[in-house]
Amino acid sequence: MDQTEQLLIPELESYFSEFELIKAEAQKIADELSEQQFIRKPEGGGWSVAECLSHLNVLGEQLLPRIEQAVDQGHNQGRYGAPPFRYGMISRLFIQANSPSPQKKIKTMKSYNPLPVDELNKTSVISTFVDLQDGFRIQVEKANGLDLKRIKVTSPALPLLRLSLGAWFAATVAHEKRHLKQAERVVEEIL
């Protein structure tokens, strides 16, 4: 652990580590598969590994700029705060709904659908995924010292949904773990 990581508050340190573990897990899954296996859908329907990761890329490419803007504005406006940060009921429900073990399944919004399989290849999907995880980690580091509860980020798909910066980090980690778990189930079926 480098000095920067040691200075992070525990909540952010957790997100920082999780994004790195998620990145490593996605790379490991992809390394086990040929290009054909990477894009192969499971027999019973559902997304291929490529589609699971593409979905996360599509969402990440829409969400990360909003987080970057919120972090920059937080610093510019001096919106600093100290932990612990407690998130409201809507944030907690949103995080739970995106977790690897949600109580209910949520249909993916069209704006977050993965790219068509014929447009996906392992190298570009993984490269984009890795870049996004690194981008999230940079924002986690930059968010250190900010008030993770008071700084709000608007959902890319639902303009009325505004969650705390910290809740977005938590929900993003949970959502990525959810789809990596889905990708692992696909790997078990196709290998």
Query: CATH number of the domain that 163 lies in?
Result: 1.20.120.450
pLDDT reading at 44 higher than 90: no
Q: Whole domain around residue 77: which residue ranges?
A: 3-190
Other Cβ atoms closer than 10 A to 71: 22
Other Cβ atoms closer than 10 A to 54: 26
Contacts of 178 (CB under 8 A, 6+ apart): 98, 99, 100, 102
Into how many domains does the chain fold?
1
Which of 85-89, 106-110, 140-144, 155-159 is the least confident region?
106-110
Read off the pTM.
0.94
What's the rounded mean pLDDT across residues 159-170? 97
